[in-house]
């Protein structure tokens, strides 16, 4: 399994909140030339999210990044929430 497949497998293995409607990936070098992956967590646009929703999505984003880092892959993870 190559690193791209491994990263996708890691993300799929994490139970995602219902608010995350889709996930997509971009594999490229970042602005400093370091190999990286951008993991885009798609959520519906919400102009007044509750504190609980913000915390849940933030915790999930951190969990995805931490899980990727824990596997010692060579790609640096940039995990971000993207509104649809």
Report how far residue 36's alpha carbon sits from residue 74's, in angstroms, rounded to the nearest whole number: 8
DSSP 8-state class, residue 19 = T
Task: Evaluate if residue 23 carries a pLDDT over 90.
Answer: yes
What CATH number belongs to 3-83?
Answer: 3.30.300.30
Predicted TM-score (pTM) of the model is 0.93
Report how far residue 54's alpha carbon sits from residue 74's, in angstroms, rounded to the nearest whole number: 29
Mean of the pLDDT values across residues 12-41? 97
Q: What is the pLDDT of residue 84?
A: 85
Report how far residue 39's alpha carbon sits from residue 81's, in angstroms, rounded to the nearest whole number: 9
Asked whether the beta carbons of 62 and 54 are under 8 A apart, the reply is: no
Q: What is the pLDDT of residue 30?
A: 97
The rounded percent of the chain whose pLDDT value lies above 70 is 100
Please, which pLDDT band fits residue 10 given cuts at 50, 70 and 90?
very high
């Amino acid at each position: 399994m190559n690193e791209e497949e491994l990263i996708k497998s890691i993300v799929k293995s994490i139970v995602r909140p219902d608010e995350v409607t889709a996930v997509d990936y971009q594999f490229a070098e970042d602005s400093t030339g370091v190999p990286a992956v951008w993991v885009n967590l798609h959520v519906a646009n919400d102009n007044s999210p509750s504190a609980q929703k913000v915390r849940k999505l933030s915790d999930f984003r951190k969990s995805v990044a931490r899980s990727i880092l824990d596997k010692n892959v060579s790609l640096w993870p940039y995990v971000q929430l993207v509104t649809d």
